[in-house]
C-alpha cells in the first residue's frame, strides 16, 4: 500500500539575518516535496540586533544566547501559527517542523573540537506549537568529521531533476553551489559571501537593510584593485569540502581589504561587492563544473536584478559557451522559499530515518541521520 503524503513545516533564518521563512510542505512517500504556502516575517529590530551582537564574542554571551534562543522560538512559533491560520490547518495536521535556528558560530576547522551553533530553544518551540520539532541538523555531520554545511545539496538533487548538467546557486547571506552533473555525482560547497557584505555596506552608509535590485551598486564603478584584493582571500582557492559564514566574512574583513588610506566612493565599493559575489560563484562553477549547461539561482539574491544580469554577463566571459541562467521560479519554486522547503525535507528525512548529509559535500565519514527531535 502506498504511504500517503504528509505535511511538514520548514523554518529557516539564514546568515542574512533578514527574518524567518516558514514554509508548509507536502512531502510524498519518496520525499517528493512541494510548497503549499508560506509566511515570511522580518525579524523585529530588537531580535535582529540581539542575534547580530551574538555573531562575535562579547560579555555575558551565554545568558544573551539563551534569551535570544527563546525569543527566536517565540518568533518561529508565531510564524507557524500564522501559517496554519492562513491555510486553515491545525497543529495535529503537521507531522513535524524542521527548524534551522540562527547560526551564531560556525567553526568546522577545529578537529575533535569542531562545532557549529544554531541558537534556538527547540523545546520551547515544541511546547508553543504542539508539533514535533526537529532541530540541530548540522552537529551530527560535524561529529562525523564533516563541515555540517551546506546541507541543501541533497534536497536540490532530488528537487531539481534535469536532463542537463545543472547547477544550483543559493545566494543567501553566504552563497553556496550544488553541482548536479547529468548522471554524475552530486557535489556542493559554500562559494563565498552572498548578500551579507552588500547588506552590511548599505546599512552602514544608508541605514537600509539591503540594496533593492542592486540599484545602488549600479550607480558605482567596480574597483578592479579592490576586487583582486578581496578575491585573494584564501577561502576562494580552497578545495571543497568547504563552508563559511559570518566568522570569515564581515564588515571588519571588508574594512581591512579597503585599508586605512582608502578613498573609495561608497557606491563603488557596493558595485565591487556585487561583482565579488557573482565572480566568486561563477569562477568556482567554471573550475569545478565547466560542463554546466544550466544554472538555477535561488535565495534572496535571486531577487536582485543587477545580480542576475551580472551573472549572465560574467558567465559569457568565463564559460566559452552559452549557459542558461534562471531563478528557481522557472522550476515552480519561489527563490525565497527553497531553503525553508529544504528544512521541511530534512525533518521528513529524520522522521523516515534517512541519512540526509552527502559525505561528498560535507566531508563527513559517512551518511548520517541529521537532527534531534523534541516531541510535541
Ligand atoms: N529585491 C531584492 N533586491 C536585492 N536584494 C534582495 C532582494 N530581496 C532579497 N534580497 C537579498 O536577500 C537577502 C535575504 O536572502 P535569504 O535567502 O533570506 O538569505 P539567508 O538565507 O541568509 O537569510 C536579503 O538580506 C537581501 O540582501
Ligand atoms: Mg533569510
In the chain, what is the straight-line distance between the N-terminal and C-terminal CA atoms, in Å? Answer: 28
Find the DSSP H helices in 88-151.
122-129, 139-143
Instruction: Look up cell 521528513; give the residue.
Output: 348
pLDDT for the residue numbered 1: 53
Q: What is the DSSP letter of 212?
A: G
Minimum-distance ligand 1 atom for the alpha carbon of 17? 23
Residue 22's beta-bridge partner residues? 11, 39
Instruction: Quote the cell numbers at residue 85.
Output: 491560520
Nearest ligand (C-alpha, residue 200): 1
pLDDT for the residue numbered 320: 85
Q: Is 215 in the pocket of ligand 1 (CB under 6 A)?
A: no
Instruction: Look up cell 578537529; give the residue.
Output: 111
pLDDT, tens digit, 9 for 90 and up, residues 37-79: 999 999 999 999 999 999 999 999 999 999 999 999 999 999 9
pLDDT, tens digit, 9 for 90 and up, residues 260-292: 656 899 999 999 999 999 999 999 999 999 999
pLDDT for the residue numbered 263: 84
Minimum-distance ligand 1 atom for the alpha carbon of 16? 22
Q: Is 246 in the pocket of ligand 1 (CB under 6 A)?
A: no
Q: Is 170 in the pocket of ligand 1 (CB under 6 A)?
A: no
CA 199 to chain centre: 15
| Residues in the chain where the model's pLDDT stays below 70 | 1-2, 260-262
Instruction: Look up cell 492562513; give the residue.
Output: 86
Residue 145 CA: distances (Å) to CA of 58, 141, 315, 361, 362 = 28, 7, 34, 12, 9
Report the C-alpha gap between 256 and 356 in whole angstroms.
Answer: 38
Q: Which residues of 115-218 form beta strands (DSSP E)?
A: 115-119, 133-135, 166-171, 174-180, 187-193
3-class DSSP state for residue 256?
A: helix
pLDDT for the residue numbered 4: 87
Report the C-alpha gap between 280 and 295 in whole angstroms.
Answer: 15
Q: Is 304 in the pocket of ligand 1 (CB under 6 A)?
A: yes
Q: Is 328 in the pocket of ligand 1 (CB under 6 A)?
A: no
For residue 118, report the phi and psi dihedrals to the nearest 5 degrees. -105, 110
- Measured in Å, residue 22 CA sits from the centre of ligand 1 at 15
Q: Is 14 in the pocket of ligand 1 (CB under 6 A)?
A: yes
Nearest ligand (C-alpha, residue 336): 1
* Residue closest by Cα to atom 18 of ligand 1: 300
* Residue closest by Cα to atom 23 of ligand 1: 14
Q: Is 339 in the pocket of ligand 1 (CB under 6 A)?
A: yes
Report the C-alpha gap between 63 and 76 in whole angstroms.
Answer: 20
* Residue closest by Cα to atom 5 of ligand 1: 304
pLDDT, tens digit, 9 for 90 and up, residues 208-228: 999 999 999 999 999 999 999
- Among 193, 119, 179, 192, which Cα is nearest to 358's? 179
Dump the DSSP string for 262-323.
----HHHHHHHHHHHHHHHHHHHHHHH-TT--EEEEESGGGG-HHHHHHHHHHHHHHSSS--
- Measured in Å, residue 300 CA sits from the centre of ligand 1 at 3
Q: What is the DSSP letter of 145?
A: T
Minimum-distance ligand 1 atom for the alpha carbon of 195? 27
268: burial class by Cβ within 10 Å (0-12, 13-18, 19+)?
A: middle
pLDDT for the residue numbered 260: 66
Amino acid at each position: 500500500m502506498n504511504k500517503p503524503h504528509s505535511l511538514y513545516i520548514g523554518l529557516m533564518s539564514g546568515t542574512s539575518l533578514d527574518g524567518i521563512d516558514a514554509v508548509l510542505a507536502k512531502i510524498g512517500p519518496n520525499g517528493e516535496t512541494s510548497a503549499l504556502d508560506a509566511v515570511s516575517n522580518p525579524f523585529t529590530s530588537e531580535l535582529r540586533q540581539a542575534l547580530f551582537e551574538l555573531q562575535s564574542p562579547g560579555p555575558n554571551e551565554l545568558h544573551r544566547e539563551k534569551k535570544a534562543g527563546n525569543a527566536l522560538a517565540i518568533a518561529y512559533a508565531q510564524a507557524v501559527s500564522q501559517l496554519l491560520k492562513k491555510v486553515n490547518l491545525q497543529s495535529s495536521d503537521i507531522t513535524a517542523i524542521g527548524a534551522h535556528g540562527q547560526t551564531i558560530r560556525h567553526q568546522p576547522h577545529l578537529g575533535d573540537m569542531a562545532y557549529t551553533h544554531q541558537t534556538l530553544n527547540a523545546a520551547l518551540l515544541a511546547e508553543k506549537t504542539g508539533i514535533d520539532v526537529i532541530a540541530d541538523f548540522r552537529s551530527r555531520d560535524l561529529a562525523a568529521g564533516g563541515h555540517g554545511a551546506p546541507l541543501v545539496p541533497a534536497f536540490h538533487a532530488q528537487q531539481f531533476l534535469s536532463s542537463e548538467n545543472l547547477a544550483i546557486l543559493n545566494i543567501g547571506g553566504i552563497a553556496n553551489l550544488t553541482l548536479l552533473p547529468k548522471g554524475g555525482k552530486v557535489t556542493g560547497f559554500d562559494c563565498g559571501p552572498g548578500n551579507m557584505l552588500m547588506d552590511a555596506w548599505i546599512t552602514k552608509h544608508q541605514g537600509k537593510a539591503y540594496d533593492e535590485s542592486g540599484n545602488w551598486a549600479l550607480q558605482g564603478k567596480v574597483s578592479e584593485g579592490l576586487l583582486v584584493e578581496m578575491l585573494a582571500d584564501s577561502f576562494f582557492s580552497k578545495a571543497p569540502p568547504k563552508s563559511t559564514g559570518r566568522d570569515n566574512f564581515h564588515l571588519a574583513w571588508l574594512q581591512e581589504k579597503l585599508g586605512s588610506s582608502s578613498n573609495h566612493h561608497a557606491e563603488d565599493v557596493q558595485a565591487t561587492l556585487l561583482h565579488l559575489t557573482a565572480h566568486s560563484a561563477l569562477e568556482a562553477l567554471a573550475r569545478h563544473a565547466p560542463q554546466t549547461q544550466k544554472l538555477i539561482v535561488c535565495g534572496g539574491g535571486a531577487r536582485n536584478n543587477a545580480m542576475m544580469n551580472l551573472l549572465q554577463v560574467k558567465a559569457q566571459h568565463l564559460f566559452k559557451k552559452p549557459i542558461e541562467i534562471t531563478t528557481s521560479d522557472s522550476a515552480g519554486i519561489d527563490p525565497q522559499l527553497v531553503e525553508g522547503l529544504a528544512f521541511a525535507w530534512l525533518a521528513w528525512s529524520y522522521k523516515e530515518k534517512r541519512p540526509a548529509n552527502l559525505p561528498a559535500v560535507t566531508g563527513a565519514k559517512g551518511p548520517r541521520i541529521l537532527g534531534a527531535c523534541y516531541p510535541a
